[in-house]
């Protein structure tokens, strides 16, 4: 099968122009207001309906469906990570320079290239035959710091079937591991370091805990492999080197797989803690919560828990997405998992089904070499257009075949 349409450079110019304006509009987490306004303005201009910003500042727009097929949501986010030292960049991070068929800058792949490809890909349906059900395009706040926007949207999602546009080099993604951050606090008894035997040094219990951590139970989930845990930050309550600390706090980074809920992880760690505590020491294990503030002024307590999810390779949405991508690209896409967590986990935790697809090389995300090939953008426009036109009706048809 040949590619359905090879967009000419003239066709692409509005989309690359939009991407360059997105890159030139800085949007660190909590500061996405100008970018959300720009996205809404563009959706208005393209003919989306119900274009709006919600309470937490997410940008939403809809293309009205002509039938009663399930609605679809194409989703990305508005924020990006910090650029660090701008002089370390081969091209200035917010200039959106075009060199050798690539657009350079912070957000080119994570996430403004995929965002532009969703807004413009779905917009190709406007003015033509309507899709069989509503198509929503959404871009949410604070993906990079815990998912305030996605958690808010997932509470009453406009669609259950979702395409998460994180970069995937035009392959289909069906899940990822999650991340749970935990803090283990061990309390002892502080005394002068010249008489350690009269106190309880919590560092010895911590040493035993870390020793046992390497043999703690981990779950496995197919292509995601096994979960992992890594001790990261460590701190005591003391700043004096000649005092036995009363407390030590150890942060743990647990990359979980589906089924490893926070209760499961807490229970496994608690069992180890109970085994290793020295006489006189006690411990407390928590998942910290951070208060995030959106640019609209909403305060949201966000637990350090980004869920994992995995759709089966035979899931109707995955099958339908693979078929449509193959037809649009003229070659079969790979089907795999992401190595990093996305907002898809929050949607999956709320009962939605998120499949992943986006242009751009995810290995360039969060680096000073961030750029996107315009050719990938063009291909993603074709695939997103096909998703908007047919993904939900195809997935639903496959679903009814597989359940017959
Ligand atoms: Zn991202």
CATH number of 179-291: 3.30.70.360
pLDDT tens for each residue of 191-239: 999 999 999 999 999 999 999 999 999 999 999 999 999 999 999 999 9
Quote the ligand 1 centre to 86 CA distance (angstroms).
20
pTM of the model: 0.92
Compute the distance from residue 112 Cα to the ligand 1 centre, in Å.
Answer: 9
Mean pLDDT to the nearest integer, 392-400? 89
- Between the CA of 77 and the centroid of ligand 1 the distance, in Å, is 7
| DSSP-assigned beta bridge partners for residue 161 | 72, 353
Per DSSP bridges, beta strands 59-63 and 49-53 are antiparallel
Q: What would the CATH number be for the domain defined by 9-176+307-403?
A: 3.40.630.10
Contact 151, 302 (CB under 8 A): yes
- Give per-residue pLDDT as tens, 29-43: 999 999 999 999 999
What is the DSSP code string of 330-388?
TSPPPEE--SS--THHHHHHTT-EEEE--SS-GGGTTSTT-EEEHHHHHHHHHHHHHHH
What number is the average pLDDT over the span 91-106? 97
> Average pLDDT, stretch 281-292?
97
CA nearest to 144, candidates 19, 31, 15, 7:
31
Name the residue among 17, 166, 41, 27 with its Cα closest to residue 103: 17
Residue 194 alpha carbon to ligand 1 centre in Å: 51
Domain ranges (residues) in the chain: 9-176+307-403, 179-291
CA 278 / ligand 1 centre spacing (Å): 43
| Whether 165 contacts 115, CB under 8 Å | yes
Q: E strand or H helix at 13, and its extent?
A: helix 9-24
């Amino acid at each position: 099968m040949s590619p359905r349409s090879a967009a000419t450079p003239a066709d692409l110019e509005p989309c690359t122009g939009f991407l360059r304006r997105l890159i030139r509009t800085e949007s660190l987490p909590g500061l996405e207001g100008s970018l959300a306004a720009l996205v809404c303005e563009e959706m208005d201009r393209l003919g989306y309906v119900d274009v709006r910003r919600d309470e937490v500042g997410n940008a939403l727009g809809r293309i009205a469906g002509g039938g009663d097929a399930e609605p679809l949501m194409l989703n990305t986010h508005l924020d990006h990570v910090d650029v660090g030292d701008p002089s370390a960049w081969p091209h200035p991070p917010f200039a959106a320079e075009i060199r050798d068929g690539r657009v350079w800058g912070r957000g080119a792949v994570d996430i403004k290239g995929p965002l532009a490809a969703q807004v413009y890909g779905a917009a190709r349906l406007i003015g033509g035959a309507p899709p069989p059900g509503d198509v929503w395009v959404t871009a949410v706040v604070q993906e990079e710091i815990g998912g305030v926007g996605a958690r808010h949207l997932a509470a009453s999602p406009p669609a259950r079937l979702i395409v998460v546009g994180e970069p995937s080099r035009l392959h289909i993604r069906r899940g990822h591991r999650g991340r749970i951050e935990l803090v283990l606090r061990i309390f002892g008894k502080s005394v002068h370091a010249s008489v350690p035997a009269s106190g309880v040094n919590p560092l010895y219990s911590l040493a035993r805990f870390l020793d046992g951590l390497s043999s703690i139970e981990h779950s496995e989930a197919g292509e995601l492999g096994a979960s992992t845990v890594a001790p990261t930050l460590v701190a005591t309550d003391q700043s004096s080197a000649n005092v036995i600390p009363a407390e030590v706090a150890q942060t743990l980074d647990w990359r979980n797989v589906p089924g490893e809920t926070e209760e499961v992880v807490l229970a496994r760690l608690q069992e180890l803690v109970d085994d290793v505590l020295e006489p006189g020491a006690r411990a407390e294990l928590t998942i910290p919560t951070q208060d995030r503030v959106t640019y609209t002024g909403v305060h949201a307590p966000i637990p350090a828990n980004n869920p994992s999810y995995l759709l089966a390779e035979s899931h109707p949405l995955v099958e339908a997405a693979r078929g449509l991508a193959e037809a649009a690209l003229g070659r079969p896409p790979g089907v795999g998992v992401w190595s990093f967590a996305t907002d898809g986990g929050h949607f999956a935790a709320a009962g939605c089904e998120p499949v992943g697809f986006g242009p751009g090389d995810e290995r360039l995300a969060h680096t000073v070499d961030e750029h996107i090939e315009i050719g990938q953008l063009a291909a993603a426009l074709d695939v997103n257009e096909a998703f908007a036109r047919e993904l939900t009706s195809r997935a639903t048809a496959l679903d009814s075949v597989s359940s017959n």
